[in-house]
């Protein structure tokens, strides 16, 4: 299970790294394309400026046809020619309003100058302002479109990966639980038969009573495992009573150095629960608390109602947790025990949140002081 969890984390990081490499390469290619096209447009405008100069200064008109062709070739780049002496603007590939043509072109020229340095026409007191072509503007937007598409792709792929892994975990848990329930069934049936046989032999009734309780407990554990993977039937139960029964069972089987304190109302607090599964969660949290305390300390169970919610706090005086582990301890495979599988808290979260539509989380924890787990369930009247 630990290996599965480690491989899952490694695969997740590898997927993110590959996605980032694709994004960076794509952005780099787009940047170079934009830069090359921008330089090419600058060269075209410089040639256009030179052609404009020739039109103004060539009195012989030897190359007039070629110059006219150059001037006409620009059909994509917005250009404004400013004659400083006449204080007059002319434009190409721009449609200024007829009402205030010069004011509009002046404003446009100032805007163009902020993006691209104007070209001074030598020999004439004229300046050429130009903007990026429509194609260049589209290409400049392309990296952002790429980022958006790649982001959506990453989110979709990550969600699909997460869902697939979650389904694999579910199948693993269900298969393990069903097989455990199946394997326990045969020896439990055999034990029940032996108890009945011993009753006929008039064995010690006290011993038989304790044996019967333990076998019944095994049957309940088997029933818990069999419920994993299927939707359990929820019943209106008193949460106070469930906690008391769980604590009563555990305190007889846990070190006497562990003190149990119950803080709860005298009146019942009802919730829609599957009692065997919820008892499993309480017992799991309690046993984890005992381990965290090293077999000695105090565990306090507090039940309160908050609006339409019944709240159960289980507080220990153990070694505590760092805040960074508040969420990760519920991940499959996480354990601090050398022989643990790391499924207990993960299954507890599944039981509370998936089956009971409640919440389970670390409410507070302090290193060397203790930890408080909180279970919230919807209250029913």
Place of tokens 């006219």: 68
Does 250 share its domain with 369? yes
Q: How many C-beta neighbours within 10 Å does residue 11 have? A: 12
Sign of CA dihedral 159, 161, 165, 168: positive
Domain assignment present for 28: yes
Return the ∠ at Cα 52 (arms to 92 and 94), rounded to 5°.
5
Residue 4 has pLDDT above 60, yes or no: no
Residue 50 has pLDDT above 90, yes or no: no
Domain assignment present for 222: no
- Residue 79 phi/psi, 5-degree rounding, is -130, 140
How far is it, in rounded angstroms, from Cα 133 to Cα 48? 15
More confident residue, 322 or 33: 322
Q: Using the 8-state DSSP alphabet, how is residue 85 labeled?
A: T
- Label residue 60 by pLDDT band (50, 70, 90): very low
Average pLDDT over residues 277-295: 90
- Domain end residue (candidates: 213, 243, 262): 213
| pLDDT for 365 | 93
Name which of 108-112, 227-231, 361-365 the model is least confident about: 227-231
Does 241 share its domain with 371? yes
Does 244 share its domain with 367? yes
Q: pLDDT > 70: what percent of the chain?
A: 78
Average pLDDT over residues 147-163: 76
Domain assignment present for 223: no
Does 249 share its domain with 295? yes
State the residue range of the domain holding 375. Answer: 231-380
State which H helix or E strand residue 263 sits in.
Answer: strand 258-263
- Domain end residue (candidates: 113, 131, 149): 131
Q: Which two tokens stand for residue 316?
A: 């220990």
Q: State pTM to two decimals.
A: 0.52
Helices and strands (H and E) in the chain: how many: 8, 11
Does 289 share its domain with 200? no
Domain assignment present for 260: yes
Return the ∠ at Cα 14 (arms to 10 and 20), rounded to 5°.
145
Does 266 share its domain with 362? yes
More confident residue, 150 or 2: 150
How far is it, in rounded angstroms, from Cα 189 to Cα 192? 5
Residue 48 has pLDDT above 70, yes or no: no
Average pLDDT over residues 10-36: 75
Does 204 share its domain with 188? yes
Number of domains, the chain: 3
Contact 71, 52 (CB under 8 A): yes
- Label residue 238 by pLDDT band (50, 70, 90): very high
Does 183 share its domain with 72? no
More confident residue, 135 or 126: 126
Domain assignment present for 148: yes
Give the chain's mean pLDDT.
79
- Label residue 177 by pLDDT band (50, 70, 90): low
Q: Using the 8-state DSSP alphabet, how is residue 234 labeled?
A: P
Contact 319, 367 (CB under 8 A): yes
Residue 314 CA: distances (Å) to CA of 22, 261, 360: 47, 10, 11
Helix 275-292 with 205-227: angle, nearest 10 deg: 100
Domain assignment present for 220: no
Q: Is 27 exposed, middle or buried (0-12, 13-18, 19+ CB in 10 A)?
A: middle
Does 147 share its domain with 101? no
Domain assignment present for 221: no
Domain assignment present for 348: yes
Percentages helix, strand, coil for the chain (3-state, rounded to 5) are 60, 20, 25
Q: Which two tokens stand for residue 256?
A: 């006497």
Place of tokens 């947790």: 321
Name which of 26-30, 289-293, 347-351 the model is least confident about: 26-30
Does 361 share its domain with 278? yes
Q: Which two tokens stand for residue 123?
A: 């020999």
Does 127 share its domain with 264? no
How far is it, in rounded angstroms, from Cα 148 to Cα 99? 41
Does 98 share its domain with 50? yes
- Domain end residue (candidates: 168, 183, 213): 213
- Residue 120 phi/psi, 5-degree rounding, is -85, 130
Would you call 355 helix, strand, or coil by DSSP? helix
How far is it, in rounded angstroms, from Cα 121 to Cα 381? 88
- Spatial CA neighbour of 229 closest among 285, 159, 284, 169: 169
Name which of 84-88, 265-269, 332-336 the model is least confident about: 332-336
How far is it, in rounded angstroms, from Cα 92 to Cα 372? 74
């Amino acid at each position: 299970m630990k290996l599965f969890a480690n491989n899952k984390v490694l695969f997740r990081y590898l997927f993110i790294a590959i996605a980032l490499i694709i994004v960076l390469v794509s952005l780099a290619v787009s940047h170079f394309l934009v830069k090359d096209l921008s330089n090419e447009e600058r060269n075209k405008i410089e040639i256009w400026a030179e052609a404009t100069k020739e039109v103004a200064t060539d009195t012989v008109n030897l190359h007039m046809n070629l110059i006219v062709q150059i001037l006409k070739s620009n059909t994509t780049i917005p250009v404004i020619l400013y004659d400083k002496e006449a204080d007059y603007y002319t434009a190409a590939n721009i449609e200024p309003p007829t009402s205030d043509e010069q004011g509009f072109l002046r404003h446009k020229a100032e805007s163009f100058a902020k993006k691209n340095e104007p070209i001074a026409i030598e020999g004439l007191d004229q300046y050429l302002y130009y903007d990026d072509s429509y194609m260049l503007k589209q290409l400049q937007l392309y990296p952002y479109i790429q980022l958006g598409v790649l982001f959506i792709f990453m989110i979709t792929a990550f969600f699909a990966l997460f869902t697939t892994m979650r389904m694999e975990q579910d199948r693993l848990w269900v298969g393990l639980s069903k097989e455990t329930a199946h394997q326990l069934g045969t020896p439990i049936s055999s034990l029940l038969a032996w108890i009945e046989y011993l009753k006929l032999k008039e064995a010690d009734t006290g011993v038989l009573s304790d044996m019967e309780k333990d076998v019944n407990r095994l049957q309940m554990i088997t029933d818990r495992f069999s419920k994993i993977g299927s939707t359990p039937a929820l019943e209106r139960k008193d949460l106070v009573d469930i906690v008391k029964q769980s604590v009563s069972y555990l305190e007889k089987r846990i070190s006497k150095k562990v003190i149990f304190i119950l803080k709860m109302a005298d009146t019942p607090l009802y919730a829609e629960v599957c009692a065997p599964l919820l008892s499993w969660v309480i017992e799991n949290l309690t046993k984890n608390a005992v381990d965290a305390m090293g077999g000695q300390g105090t565990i306090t169970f507090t039940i309160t109602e908050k609006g339409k919610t019944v709240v159960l706090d289980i507080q220990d005086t153990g070694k505590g947790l760092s805040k960074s582990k508040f969420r990760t301890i519920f991940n499959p495979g996480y354990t601090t025990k050398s022989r643990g599988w790391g499924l207990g808290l993960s299954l507890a979260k599944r039981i509370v949140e998936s089956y009971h539509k409640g919440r389970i989380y670390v409410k507070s924890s302090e290193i060397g002081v203790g930890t408080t787990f909180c279970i919230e369930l919807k209250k029913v009247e």
